[in-house]
Structure 1
Amino acid sequence: MLSKFKSHINTKLSFLKGKKLLLACSGGLDSVVLAQLCKAIGLDLTLAHCNFKLRGTESDGDEAFVRNLASSLELEVLVKEFDTLDYAQNHRGSVQMAARELRYQWFNQLLADKSFDCLLTAHHLDDDLETFLINLSRGTGLEGLLGIPEQNDKVIRPLLVFTREEITAYAEEQKIQWREDSSNSESKYLRNKIRHGIVPKLKELHPTFVQNFIQTQSYLHQTSDLVNNHLEEVKTRLFQKADGTIKVNVADLQKLQPLQAYLYGLFHGFGFSDWEAVHGLLTSMSGKEVLSKTHRLLKDRDQLILSKIKTRVNEHFPVFDKDTMLEQPIKLTMEKVDSVTKPLTNTVFLDKEKLNFPMVLRNWGKGDYFYPFGMKGKKKLSKFFKDEKIDVVSKEKQWLLCSDDEIVWVVGKRADERFRVDDSTRQIVKITWIS
């Protein structure tokens, strides 16, 4: 197995060599064997052990074992204790999910704080098979049948090509000691039911079942690649990127068949899961939106607008009377001029004596109004935006230049009539937005 492992690293995971690696080590068979193999081929390794305090002295025994293992292999070991039950209660989740969240929160913190390049976990081929069957039993699409990825960002699983039998045989041959987790035999967990009850029967029915599974997954991955390549072509054709958003024409979307499958393929990567609501956007009124944890999909007239969710903060920035008035969040410059030239969308000419400094650059808010240049009377900004066909996302990014509480300029859109240059003006200033 050592020879096969070394060959696998050299051919598929050669980027691990010379990297600073963190290995998640529970003290169980799989992680102990992975630590031994990595040490044997000279990888730069640090062990990380989580004590979840769920099995009393058994949990403490696992910690002691991993510390001794690290010492025998002359490796650094990092240990973290967790109050897992308390975390599960506070977050209203299962103990298993709590342990997983705590584990990966700590691992990610270590990767960042201690500059580890990768995290190694000891998932193997049987884990992959069990995950496949779990997803199949719950109902899943193609993505759920692809199993455990060998690489997911910085998480690497070098043992995925090895069966549990191979790992056990190697440990026994090399007289490697490990710890048995008593919870692995408890039948209340779905994975254990599949591991101990279903997989052995499938192997009995088909002696080549594991090999058949490997071949099936290979076909599924090839199919997934074809689907993803096609979806990337569709995205290139339909996704119009501008100012941090993606705009998609609704009519073009509706031509895609099967539509539900396309909607999933195009938008699931942004965290959406309510596909009935996403489908409903296509025929909904303008302004309707669907939210994921990270993104918003908004219906705006004849298009959908996809954008990241950002907490809207009503920020205020003082703008002073000097050559360069502001650098952030946008750059504004001001200069004295003798006359007014034809204004551009990024410039405005103002009567300086009508301005009170410091002016303020701020976001627009509900109830804001101004007196649009060239018009009589005031107008609510919300009505102005609607008339100008400015979408919701662009409105949220809109800045207002204000003198006291009065809007001087809807930046890049329209100046305010009250601050215009007229026959009585003695000092003219030109303000430019450098985009």
Structure 2
Amino acid sequence: MLDRVRQTIQDYHLLVPGDKVVVGVSGGPDSLALLHSLMTLQEEYGYTLQVAHLNHGLRPEAAADAEYVRDLATGWGLPVTVAQRDVLAYRQEHHLSIEAAAREVRYNFFQEVAAAVGATRIAVGHQAEDQAETVLLNLLRGSGLTGLKAMLPRRGRLIRPLLFVTRAEIEAYCRDNGLHPRRDFTNEDPAYRRNKIRHQLLPLLAREYNPAIVATLGRTALILQEDEALLADLAHRALEGIIKRREGETLVLDRQGWQDLAPALQRRVLRLAAATLGRRVSFNQVEKARAVAREGGTLTWPGRLSIRARGAELHLQLPGKSAGKVSFSYQLQVPGLTPLPEVGKAIRAEIAPPPRAFKPGREDEAWLDRAKLKQPLLVRNWLPGDCFRPLGMKGTKKLQDYFIDRHLPAARRPLIPLVISEGRIAWVAGLGLAEDFKVTPATRETLHLKLEPWP
């Protein structure tokens, strides 16, 4: 198992010397094997470890699990952070399933610990069976490549060193190294769909169809991850190539240019165009829009986004919004997600190391030097008299003039979120970063912001 972990670290560049790694440890076999293997390889790769355990407060044994992890980490000489969160309250507030709420709360906690200790990586214990279960779950939901690619070995600073290790190998590793994991008996409860796949469907597939089903599904996910990355890049380029103009809440595409695309790119371009206007659409909704785009006519998607094929143009349009009536102001959640329902957007924030590579054209996200920011940060709409210093400029510029320079229609301007630090504009979301908050070679930690559709 250790050789497999070492190979995964090397193949996917999961760790580099000097990294500080937050390791999520529940006390179960997977996370215990993860922690022990990373501790064993610590000197070889030159990183440091910080253990993090979250008590979800959902099981009677949860407090004992927390104490077990605390004692284990202390006994191994590792720093440890143990906390408890009210997952049920979070679930009710955000209208999520219990599994989704627990997952979001857990990852928010890991981000908080990483920010507090200055960590550059967060390691979690997902393994090969987890990957196979995820592929099957998403297949049963009817997911496309985005869902079938399942979990990545590395996503941002989140890493999964055990992703190609089987549950049997983990159990053997625990026995061989004298590890005594805790057991979460909710993992046996067939009321959860993932558990039914784990204990019923996967064994059936292995017994009746393919003894190597776990490895096969893992290999499938790996192939689809690479295919998805290629298609996503092609779709972004295709959309940029057929945009004729943006007019407030309307996106106008070259209809013939869209029709000349392969069907797979037609679908992706329509989804991307909808996302540009803050809407998510299903496969069936995209198929209906494809018919309209080919044959002519009008269709209205949920969220009041209309698709109209007229002559040589394809219009995607939201209902007009009155500039004078849009007003919002929220404290930016760091780390976390800050919804901006007035404009159909949200800003996701995380503390992260400076990016090793960043394409300047991605204006829907920004990296700011965290040391130059003053908490709390504010997100609000444009106000008369707003000024800021655009990236690369020596002096300040009125935001109204900046909007004019960017050919932004007047109706669209109040819908642009502004991230504010002590009264100063740090980021004009989706348009440009302020010079005063840019990342430099001296930057040690950044605030990574990303503008996303909402809901």
TM-score by length of 2: 0.62
CA contact 1:231–1:266 (8 Å) conserved in 2 = no
CA contact 2:129–2:167 (8 Å) conserved in 1 = yes
In the alignment, which residue of structure 2 is the partner of 1:63? 66
In the alignment, which residue of structure 1 is the partner of 2:325? none
The CA deviation at 1:145 is 0.8
1:9-408 equivalences under 5 Å are 9-13=9-13, 15-42=15-42, 43-56=47-60, 58-205=61-208, 206-239=210-243, 249-251=253-255, 252-258=257-263, 259-264=266-271, 268=275, 272-274=279-281, 276=285, 277=300, 280-283=306-309, 288-289=317-318, 292-294=344-346, 311-316=380-385, 327=396, 329-330=398-399, 390=409, 392-393=411-412
CA RMSD of aligned residues (A): 3.8
| 1:40-92 CA-partner distances (Å, limit 9, x unpaired) | 01141000000111112x10110011011101221000011112223323333
Higher mean C-alpha deviation, range 12-21 or range 276-285: 276-285
Q: 1:292 to 1:153 in 2, by over 3 A?
A: farther
| 1:119-157 CA-partner distances (Å, limit 9, x unpaired) | 110001100100111111111111111111111111111
Distance 1:393 1:213 in 2: 45
**Identical columns (%):** 27
Q: 1:186 to 1:135 in 2, by over 3 A?
A: same
Distance 1:260 1:308 in 2: 21
SS at match of 2:63: helix
Q: 1:267 to 1:26 in 2, by over 3 A?
A: same
TM-score by length of 1: 0.65
Distance 1:241 1:16 in 2: 44
CA contact 1:151–1:157 (8 Å) conserved in 2 = yes
CA contact 2:135–2:221 (8 Å) conserved in 1 = no
The CA deviation at 1:164 is 0.8
The CA deviation at 1:5 is 2.0
The CA deviation at 1:287 is 9.3
User: Quick one: which amino acid aligns to residue 193 of structure 1?
Assistant: K
CA contact 1:294–1:308 (8 Å) conserved in 2 = no
Distance 2:130 2:276 in 1: 25
Number of equivalences = 326
User: Quick one: which amino acid aligns to residue 306 of structure 2?
Assistant: G
Q: RCO higher in 1 or 2 (8 Å CA, sep ≥ 6)?
A: 2
The CA deviation at 1:118 is 1.1
The CA deviation at 1:292 is 4.7
Q: 1:269 to 1:120 in 2, by over 3 A?
A: farther
Distance 1:246 1:167 in 2: 53
SS at match of 2:15: helix
| 1:223-275 CA-partner distances (Å, limit 9, x unpaired) | 32442343244145235799999965343335545333431256558863135
Q: 1:12 to 1:261 in 2, by over 3 A?
A: closer
CA contact 1:271–1:294 (8 Å) conserved in 2 = no
> Which blocks of at least 5 consecutive residues in structure 1 are unaligned?
296-306, 319-325, 333-344, 347-387, 398-435
> Which blocks of at least 5 consecutive residues in structure 2 are unaligned?
286-299, 320-342, 348-362, 366-378, 388-394, 417-455
Q: 1:88 to 1:108 in 2, by over 3 A?
A: same
SS at match of 1:392: coil
In the alignment, which residue of structure 2 is the partner of 1:360? none
SS at match of 1:281: strand
Distance 1:208 1:232 in 2: 36
| 1:309-353 CA-partner distances (Å, limit 9, x unpaired) | 9853433469xxxxxxx9454599xxxxxxxxxxxx99xxxxxxx
CA contact 1:88–1:98 (8 Å) conserved in 2 = yes
> Which of the pair has more CA radius of gyration?
1
